Structure 1
Amino acid sequence: MSEFDAFGNGVSAEEDPAAAFLAQQESEIAGIDYDEGFSILDSGDVPSALHDGTAASEEEEGDEDGVLNGDFYQESNGPTDSYAAISQADRLQAEPESIRKWREEQRSRLEILDANSRKQETEWKEKAGKELEEWYTRQDELLQKTKANNRAAEEAFVSDAEETAPGTEWERVARLCDFNPKSSKQAKDVSRMRSVLISLKQAPLVH
Protein backbone atom coordinates (compact mmCIF):
# COMPACT_ATOMS: atom_id res chain seq x y z
CA MET A 1 0.00 0.00 0.00
CA SER A 2 2.86 2.31 0.76
CA GLU A 3 4.17 1.87 -2.74
CA PHE A 4 0.82 2.75 -4.28
CA ASP A 5 0.59 5.71 -1.95
CA ALA A 6 4.00 6.79 -2.90
CA PHE A 7 3.13 6.45 -6.58
CA GLY A 8 -0.05 8.36 -6.11
CA ASN A 9 1.69 11.11 -4.27
CA GLY A 10 4.27 11.29 -6.99
CA VAL A 11 1.66 11.83 -9.69
CA SER A 12 -0.07 14.53 -7.74
CA ALA A 13 3.22 16.18 -6.87
CA GLU A 14 4.23 16.46 -10.55
CA GLU A 15 3.08 19.63 -12.55
CA ASP A 16 0.31 19.12 -15.14
CA PRO A 17 1.58 20.19 -18.63
CA ALA A 18 -1.88 21.18 -19.93
CA ALA A 19 -2.59 23.35 -16.94
CA ALA A 20 0.79 25.03 -17.26
CA PHE A 21 0.20 25.75 -20.96
CA LEU A 22 -3.22 27.29 -20.25
CA ALA A 23 -1.79 29.41 -17.49
CA GLN A 24 0.98 30.69 -19.77
CA GLN A 25 -1.51 31.59 -22.52
CA GLU A 26 -3.74 33.45 -20.07
CA SER A 27 -0.79 35.42 -18.77
CA GLU A 28 0.25 36.40 -22.30
CA ILE A 29 -3.30 37.45 -23.22
CA ALA A 30 -3.55 39.48 -20.03
CA GLY A 31 -0.27 41.22 -20.91
CA ILE A 32 -1.54 42.13 -24.38
CA ASP A 33 -4.82 43.47 -22.99
CA TYR A 34 -2.97 45.51 -20.42
CA ASP A 35 -0.71 47.06 -23.05
CA GLU A 36 -3.61 48.17 -25.30
CA GLY A 37 -5.76 49.44 -22.45
CA PHE A 38 -8.74 47.30 -23.50
CA SER A 39 -8.54 44.35 -21.14
CA ILE A 40 -11.80 42.73 -20.14
CA LEU A 41 -12.52 42.46 -16.48
CA ASP A 42 -12.63 39.09 -14.79
CA SER A 43 -16.33 39.52 -14.17
CA GLY A 44 -16.94 39.76 -17.94
CA ASP A 45 -17.88 43.49 -17.98
CA VAL A 46 -16.51 45.74 -20.67
CA PRO A 47 -14.33 48.56 -19.31
CA SER A 48 -15.85 52.04 -19.44
CA ALA A 49 -13.00 53.40 -21.57
CA LEU A 50 -13.56 50.71 -24.17
CA HIS A 51 -17.31 51.27 -24.08
CA ASP A 52 -16.99 55.07 -24.43
CA GLY A 53 -14.54 54.80 -27.31
CA THR A 54 -16.87 52.50 -29.24
CA ALA A 55 -19.84 54.83 -28.70
CA ALA A 56 -17.83 57.86 -29.82
CA SER A 57 -16.67 56.11 -32.97
CA GLU A 58 -20.21 55.06 -33.78
CA GLU A 59 -21.46 58.64 -33.27
CA GLU A 60 -18.76 60.08 -35.54
CA GLU A 61 -19.54 57.51 -38.18
CA GLY A 62 -23.22 58.36 -37.91
CA ASP A 63 -22.42 62.06 -38.32
CA GLU A 64 -20.36 61.39 -41.42
CA ASP A 65 -23.15 59.29 -42.87
CA GLY A 66 -25.66 62.05 -42.13
CA VAL A 67 -23.54 64.65 -43.91
CA LEU A 68 -22.99 62.40 -46.85
CA ASN A 69 -26.64 61.48 -46.98
CA GLY A 70 -27.68 65.12 -46.63
CA ASP A 71 -25.46 66.15 -49.53
CA PHE A 72 -26.68 63.26 -51.60
CA TYR A 73 -30.31 63.96 -50.90
CA GLN A 74 -29.80 67.66 -51.55
CA GLU A 75 -28.34 67.00 -54.98
CA SER A 76 -30.77 64.30 -55.93
CA ASN A 77 -33.96 65.93 -54.67
CA GLY A 78 -33.38 69.21 -56.50
CA PRO A 79 -36.02 72.00 -56.18
CA THR A 80 -38.57 71.47 -53.46
CA ASP A 81 -41.30 73.30 -55.34
CA SER A 82 -43.42 70.99 -57.47
CA TYR A 83 -43.86 73.55 -60.25
CA ALA A 84 -40.13 74.17 -60.40
CA ALA A 85 -39.51 70.44 -60.58
CA ILE A 86 -41.99 70.09 -63.45
CA SER A 87 -40.39 73.02 -65.27
CA GLN A 88 -36.96 71.51 -64.79
CA ALA A 89 -38.17 68.18 -66.12
CA ASP A 90 -39.68 69.89 -69.16
CA ARG A 91 -36.41 71.66 -69.91
CA LEU A 92 -34.46 68.47 -69.54
CA GLN A 93 -36.78 66.68 -71.91
CA ALA A 94 -35.29 66.52 -75.39
CA GLU A 95 -37.13 68.55 -78.07
CA PRO A 96 -38.01 66.65 -81.24
CA GLU A 97 -36.02 67.50 -84.34
CA SER A 98 -39.13 68.38 -86.36
CA ILE A 99 -40.32 70.90 -83.77
CA ARG A 100 -36.88 72.45 -83.49
CA LYS A 101 -36.65 72.78 -87.28
CA TRP A 102 -40.14 74.28 -87.47
CA ARG A 103 -39.26 76.75 -84.73
CA GLU A 104 -36.13 77.86 -86.57
CA GLU A 105 -38.05 78.25 -89.83
CA GLN A 106 -40.70 80.33 -88.09
CA ARG A 107 -38.05 82.52 -86.48
CA SER A 108 -36.36 83.08 -89.83
CA ARG A 109 -39.69 83.80 -91.50
CA LEU A 110 -40.64 86.33 -88.83
CA GLU A 111 -37.27 88.04 -89.10
CA ILE A 112 -37.72 88.35 -92.88
CA LEU A 113 -41.25 89.71 -92.46
CA ASP A 114 -40.08 92.23 -89.88
CA ALA A 115 -37.26 93.39 -92.13
CA ASN A 116 -39.64 93.75 -95.11
CA SER A 117 -42.20 95.61 -93.03
CA ARG A 118 -39.58 98.03 -91.74
CA LYS A 119 -38.28 98.58 -95.28
CA GLN A 120 -41.80 99.10 -96.63
CA GLU A 121 -42.60 101.50 -93.79
CA THR A 122 -39.51 103.53 -94.62
CA GLU A 123 -40.44 103.63 -98.30
CA TRP A 124 -43.99 104.73 -97.48
CA LYS A 125 -42.73 107.50 -95.22
CA GLU A 126 -40.38 108.77 -97.93
CA LYS A 127 -43.12 108.60 -100.57
CA ALA A 128 -45.62 110.36 -98.30
CA GLY A 129 -43.07 113.08 -97.55
CA LYS A 130 -42.42 113.67 -101.25
CA GLU A 131 -46.15 113.73 -102.10
CA LEU A 132 -46.84 116.14 -99.25
CA GLU A 133 -44.04 118.42 -100.40
CA GLU A 134 -45.38 118.35 -103.99
CA TRP A 135 -48.91 119.15 -102.74
CA TYR A 136 -47.65 122.13 -100.79
CA THR A 137 -45.78 123.30 -103.92
CA ARG A 138 -48.91 123.01 -106.09
CA GLN A 139 -51.02 124.76 -103.50
CA ASP A 140 -48.52 127.61 -103.29
CA GLU A 141 -48.39 127.95 -107.08
CA LEU A 142 -52.20 127.95 -107.29
CA LEU A 143 -52.44 130.52 -104.54
CA GLN A 144 -49.92 132.80 -106.23
CA LYS A 145 -51.75 132.45 -109.57
CA THR A 146 -55.09 133.22 -107.96
CA LYS A 147 -53.66 136.28 -106.27
CA ALA A 148 -52.25 137.50 -109.58
CA ASN A 149 -55.57 137.02 -111.38
CA ASN A 150 -57.50 138.79 -108.64
CA ARG A 151 -55.00 141.64 -108.64
CA ALA A 152 -55.31 142.01 -112.44
CA ALA A 153 -59.09 141.92 -112.31
CA GLU A 154 -59.10 144.54 -109.56
CA GLU A 155 -56.81 146.82 -111.54
CA ALA A 156 -58.97 146.49 -114.64
CA PHE A 157 -62.11 147.24 -112.66
CA VAL A 158 -60.56 150.33 -111.10
CA SER A 159 -59.27 151.57 -114.43
CA ASP A 160 -62.70 151.12 -116.03
CA ALA A 161 -64.41 152.86 -113.15
CA GLU A 162 -62.07 155.80 -113.36
CA GLU A 163 -62.47 156.13 -117.13
CA THR A 164 -64.47 159.31 -117.85
CA ALA A 165 -64.27 159.53 -121.61
CA PRO A 166 -67.52 160.82 -123.07
CA GLY A 167 -69.73 158.27 -124.84
CA THR A 168 -68.44 155.31 -122.82
CA GLU A 169 -71.07 155.38 -120.06
CA TRP A 170 -73.43 152.89 -121.73
CA GLU A 171 -70.55 150.72 -122.73
CA ARG A 172 -69.51 150.38 -119.09
CA VAL A 173 -73.12 149.65 -118.16
CA ALA A 174 -73.34 146.99 -120.87
CA ARG A 175 -70.23 145.28 -119.50
CA LEU A 176 -72.00 144.83 -116.20
CA CYS A 177 -74.97 143.08 -117.83
CA ASP A 178 -75.26 139.48 -118.94
CA PHE A 179 -76.68 139.36 -122.45
CA ASN A 180 -76.69 135.58 -122.81
CA PRO A 181 -80.35 134.47 -123.01
CA LYS A 182 -79.58 130.90 -121.94
CA SER A 183 -77.94 131.90 -118.70
CA SER A 184 -80.87 134.08 -117.69
CA LYS A 185 -83.22 132.38 -115.27
CA GLN A 186 -85.61 135.22 -114.64
CA ALA A 187 -89.30 134.64 -115.08
CA LYS A 188 -89.90 138.03 -116.64
CA ASP A 189 -89.18 138.83 -120.26
CA VAL A 190 -86.22 141.23 -120.41
CA SER A 191 -85.43 140.84 -124.07
CA ARG A 192 -86.70 144.36 -124.81
CA MET A 193 -84.46 145.86 -122.12
CA ARG A 194 -81.54 143.87 -123.43
CA SER A 195 -82.05 145.13 -126.97
CA VAL A 196 -82.24 148.73 -125.73
CA LEU A 197 -78.96 148.43 -123.85
CA ILE A 198 -77.25 146.85 -126.83
CA SER A 199 -78.43 149.67 -129.12
CA LEU A 200 -77.23 152.29 -126.65
CA LYS A 201 -73.87 150.57 -126.45
CA GLN A 202 -73.49 150.61 -130.19
CA ALA A 203 -74.91 154.12 -130.73
CA PRO A 204 -74.79 156.11 -127.52
CA LEU A 205 -76.92 159.22 -127.18
CA VAL A 206 -75.23 162.48 -128.07
CA HIS A 207 -75.93 165.37 -125.73
Structure 2
Amino acid sequence: MDDFDMLNAPSAGNGVGSEEDPAAAFLAQQESEIAGIENDEGFSILDSGDVPSSLGDTNGESNGPSDAYAAISNADRLQAEPESLRKWREEQRERLEELDANSRQQETEWKEKAKVELEEWHARQNEQLEKTKTNNRAAEEAMISDLDENNPGTEWERVARLCDFNPKSSKQAKDVSRMRSVLISLKQSPLVR
Protein backbone atom coordinates (compact mmCIF):
# COMPACT_ATOMS: atom_id res chain seq x y z
CA MET A 1 0.00 0.00 0.00
CA ASP A 2 1.49 3.29 -0.99
CA ASP A 3 0.94 6.67 0.71
CA PHE A 4 -1.96 7.73 -1.51
CA ASP A 5 -3.99 4.60 -0.85
CA MET A 6 -3.87 5.33 2.83
CA LEU A 7 -5.65 8.66 2.30
CA ASN A 8 -8.51 7.04 0.38
CA ALA A 9 -9.02 4.16 2.76
CA PRO A 10 -11.76 4.52 5.37
CA SER A 11 -10.41 4.86 8.84
CA ALA A 12 -12.26 3.06 11.52
CA GLY A 13 -10.46 4.65 14.44
CA ASN A 14 -11.72 8.25 14.31
CA GLY A 15 -15.19 7.77 12.75
CA VAL A 16 -14.78 10.50 10.12
CA GLY A 17 -14.51 8.18 7.16
CA SER A 18 -17.60 6.15 8.13
CA GLU A 19 -19.90 9.18 8.25
CA GLU A 20 -21.44 11.17 5.39
CA ASP A 21 -19.78 14.47 4.37
CA PRO A 22 -21.49 17.36 6.30
CA ALA A 23 -21.15 19.79 3.37
CA ALA A 24 -22.86 17.36 1.01
CA ALA A 25 -25.66 16.82 3.53
CA PHE A 26 -26.18 20.59 3.86
CA LEU A 27 -26.30 21.06 0.09
CA ALA A 28 -28.81 18.22 -0.28
CA GLN A 29 -31.01 19.78 2.41
CA GLN A 30 -30.89 23.21 0.69
CA GLU A 31 -31.75 21.68 -2.67
CA SER A 32 -34.79 19.93 -1.20
CA GLU A 33 -35.97 23.19 0.40
CA ILE A 34 -35.56 25.07 -2.88
CA ALA A 35 -37.47 22.37 -4.71
CA GLY A 36 -40.25 22.70 -2.11
CA ILE A 37 -40.40 26.46 -2.63
CA GLU A 38 -40.54 26.08 -6.41
CA ASN A 39 -43.43 23.64 -6.09
CA ASP A 40 -45.27 25.89 -3.62
CA GLU A 41 -48.84 26.60 -4.63
CA GLY A 42 -48.52 30.39 -4.40
CA PHE A 43 -45.78 30.60 -7.03
CA SER A 44 -47.17 28.08 -9.49
CA ILE A 45 -50.40 30.03 -10.00
CA LEU A 46 -48.93 32.51 -12.45
CA ASP A 47 -46.94 29.90 -14.39
CA SER A 48 -49.69 27.43 -15.23
CA GLY A 49 -52.82 29.57 -14.85
CA ASP A 50 -54.50 26.79 -12.82
CA VAL A 51 -55.79 27.68 -9.42
CA PRO A 52 -54.93 25.16 -6.69
CA SER A 53 -57.85 23.85 -4.71
CA SER A 54 -56.54 25.47 -1.53
CA LEU A 55 -56.70 28.94 -3.12
CA GLY A 56 -59.75 28.45 -5.30
CA ASP A 57 -63.37 29.10 -4.33
CA THR A 58 -64.90 26.27 -2.36
CA ASN A 59 -68.45 27.20 -3.36
CA GLY A 60 -67.71 27.09 -7.07
CA GLU A 61 -68.54 30.80 -7.41
CA SER A 62 -66.30 33.10 -9.42
CA ASN A 63 -65.30 36.50 -8.08
CA GLY A 64 -64.38 37.93 -11.48
CA PRO A 65 -64.31 37.14 -15.15
CA SER A 66 -62.34 33.93 -14.59
CA ASP A 67 -60.57 31.94 -11.93
CA ALA A 68 -57.22 33.11 -13.25
CA TYR A 69 -57.98 36.68 -12.11
CA ALA A 70 -58.87 35.47 -8.64
CA ALA A 71 -55.66 33.48 -8.53
CA ILE A 72 -53.63 36.53 -9.53
CA SER A 73 -55.31 38.69 -6.89
CA ASN A 74 -54.64 36.02 -4.28
CA ALA A 75 -51.02 35.80 -5.37
CA ASP A 76 -50.75 39.58 -5.18
CA ARG A 77 -52.20 39.45 -1.69
CA LEU A 78 -49.59 36.83 -0.75
CA GLN A 79 -46.77 38.96 -2.11
CA ALA A 80 -48.07 42.34 -0.81
CA GLU A 81 -45.63 44.43 1.17
CA PRO A 82 -45.87 44.49 4.95
CA GLU A 83 -48.09 47.01 6.70
CA SER A 84 -45.11 48.80 8.27
CA LEU A 85 -43.56 49.45 4.84
CA ARG A 86 -46.87 50.68 3.45
CA LYS A 87 -47.30 53.09 6.40
CA TRP A 88 -43.73 54.31 6.00
CA ARG A 89 -44.27 54.95 2.27
CA GLU A 90 -47.47 56.90 2.98
CA GLU A 91 -45.79 58.95 5.73
CA GLN A 92 -42.80 59.58 3.49
CA ARG A 93 -45.06 60.67 0.62
CA GLU A 94 -46.96 63.03 2.95
CA ARG A 95 -43.69 64.43 4.31
CA LEU A 96 -42.36 65.02 0.81
CA GLU A 97 -45.59 66.70 -0.27
CA GLU A 98 -45.42 68.96 2.79
CA LEU A 99 -41.77 69.81 2.09
CA ASP A 100 -42.63 70.54 -1.55
CA ALA A 101 -45.47 72.83 -0.49
CA ASN A 102 -43.19 74.62 2.00
CA SER A 103 -40.46 75.06 -0.60
CA ARG A 104 -42.94 76.44 -3.14
CA GLN A 105 -44.29 78.86 -0.53
CA GLN A 106 -40.77 79.92 0.47
CA GLU A 107 -39.86 80.37 -3.19
CA THR A 108 -42.82 82.69 -3.77
CA GLU A 109 -41.93 84.66 -0.62
CA TRP A 110 -38.34 85.05 -1.80
CA LYS A 111 -39.49 86.15 -5.24
CA GLU A 112 -41.77 88.80 -3.71
CA LYS A 113 -38.98 89.99 -1.40
CA ALA A 114 -36.52 90.14 -4.30
CA LYS A 115 -39.06 92.06 -6.39
CA VAL A 116 -39.52 94.66 -3.63
CA GLU A 117 -35.77 95.00 -3.11
CA LEU A 118 -35.21 95.37 -6.86
CA GLU A 119 -37.84 98.11 -7.05
CA GLU A 120 -36.20 99.94 -4.12
CA TRP A 121 -32.79 99.62 -5.79
CA HIS A 122 -34.16 101.03 -9.04
CA ALA A 123 -35.74 103.93 -7.14
CA ARG A 124 -32.42 104.72 -5.40
CA GLN A 125 -30.55 104.47 -8.70
CA ASN A 126 -33.00 106.81 -10.43
CA GLU A 127 -32.79 109.29 -7.55
CA GLN A 128 -28.98 109.22 -7.65
CA LEU A 129 -29.04 109.63 -11.43
CA GLU A 130 -31.34 112.66 -11.17
CA LYS A 131 -29.05 114.25 -8.56
CA THR A 132 -26.03 113.66 -10.78
CA LYS A 133 -27.83 115.14 -13.80
CA THR A 134 -28.86 118.22 -11.79
CA ASN A 135 -25.30 118.75 -10.49
CA ASN A 136 -23.82 118.28 -13.96
CA ARG A 137 -26.27 120.75 -15.51
CA ALA A 138 -25.52 123.34 -12.82
CA ALA A 139 -21.76 122.87 -13.32
CA GLU A 140 -22.17 123.13 -17.09
CA GLU A 141 -24.19 126.34 -16.78
CA ALA A 142 -21.57 127.80 -14.45
CA MET A 143 -18.79 126.88 -16.85
CA ILE A 144 -20.67 128.38 -19.82
CA SER A 145 -21.28 131.60 -17.91
CA ASP A 146 -17.57 131.73 -17.01
CA LEU A 147 -16.60 131.25 -20.64
CA ASP A 148 -18.92 134.03 -21.69
CA GLU A 149 -17.17 136.44 -19.32
CA ASN A 150 -14.24 137.64 -21.32
CA ASN A 151 -13.20 140.58 -19.22
CA PRO A 152 -9.63 141.62 -19.80
CA GLY A 153 -7.43 141.17 -16.75
CA THR A 154 -9.37 138.25 -15.25
CA GLU A 155 -7.60 135.53 -17.18
CA TRP A 156 -5.45 134.43 -14.24
CA GLU A 157 -8.44 134.28 -11.95
CA ARG A 158 -10.12 131.92 -14.39
CA VAL A 159 -6.96 129.82 -14.60
CA ALA A 160 -6.77 129.71 -10.81
CA ARG A 161 -10.40 128.49 -10.64
CA LEU A 162 -9.64 125.67 -13.06
CA CYS A 163 -6.50 124.56 -11.18
CA ASP A 164 -6.48 122.62 -7.97
CA PHE A 165 -4.15 124.37 -5.55
CA ASN A 166 -4.64 122.00 -2.64
CA PRO A 167 -1.37 120.04 -2.31
CA LYS A 168 -3.03 117.19 -0.34
CA SER A 169 -5.55 116.37 -3.05
CA SER A 170 -2.95 116.29 -5.79
CA LYS A 171 -2.48 112.79 -7.12
CA GLN A 172 0.55 113.56 -9.25
CA ALA A 173 3.89 112.09 -8.40
CA LYS A 174 5.84 115.13 -9.69
CA ASP A 175 6.51 118.17 -7.58
CA VAL A 176 4.40 121.04 -8.95
CA SER A 177 4.86 123.42 -6.05
CA ARG A 178 6.86 125.95 -8.13
CA MET A 179 4.16 126.11 -10.80
CA ARG A 180 1.51 126.47 -8.13
CA SER A 181 3.39 129.33 -6.47
CA VAL A 182 3.84 131.08 -9.85
CA LEU A 183 0.11 130.82 -10.65
CA ILE A 184 -0.85 132.11 -7.22
CA SER A 185 1.49 135.08 -7.54
CA LEU A 186 0.12 135.84 -11.03
CA LYS A 187 -3.42 135.71 -9.67
CA GLN A 188 -2.58 138.17 -6.90
CA SER A 189 -0.60 140.53 -9.08
CA PRO A 190 -1.33 140.01 -12.78
CA LEU A 191 1.18 141.06 -15.41
CA VAL A 192 0.67 144.47 -16.86
CA ARG A 193 1.02 144.84 -20.61
TM-score normalized by the length of structure 2: 0.57
CA positional deviation for 1:199: 0.8
* TM-superposed deviation, 1:154: 0.4
1:133 to 107, 111, 119: 119
Structure 1's unaligned 5+ residue stretches are 1-68, 80-84
**Matches for 1:73-112 after TM superposition, within 5 Å:** 75-78=66-69, 85=72, 89-90=75-76, 93-112=79-98
Q: Spell out, residue by residue over 1:96-144, the C-alpha distance to the aligned partner (whole angstroms, 9 max, x if none).
A: 2211221221122112101101110110110111011111111111111
Q: Deviations over 1:119-173 (max 9, x none)?
A: 1011011011101111111111111111111101101111111113343111101
C-alpha separation in 1, matches of 2:188 and 2:77? 106
1:154 corresponds to = 140
C-alpha distance in structure 1 between counterparts of 2:143 and 2:88, whole Å: 80
For these two proteins, the number of residue pairs brought into alignment is 130
Residues 1:124 and 2:115 aligned together:
no
**1:126 maps to amino acid:** E
Comparing 175-184 with 140-149, which one deviates more in the overlay? 175-184
Q: Give 1:201's aligned residue.
A: 187
3-state SS of the aligned residue for 1:108? Answer: helix
User: Per-residue displacement from partner, 1:56-100 (whole Å, max 9, x unpaired)?
Assistant: xxxxxxxxxxxxx9x9xx822349xxxxx5x87335644422112
Structure 1 partner of 2:12: none
Question: 2 CA distance for matches of 1:144 and 1:196?
Answer: 40
Alignment of 1:177 with 2:163, yes or no, is yes
The AA in structure 1 aligned to 2:106 is Q
Q: Which residue in the other structure is 1:14 paired with?
A: none
**Structure 2 CA distance for partners of 1:97 and 1:78, relative to 1, 3 Å:** closer
Q: TM-score, normalised by structure 1?
A: 0.53
Write 1 or 2 for the structure with the bigger share of helix.
1
- Percent identical among aligned pairs is 74
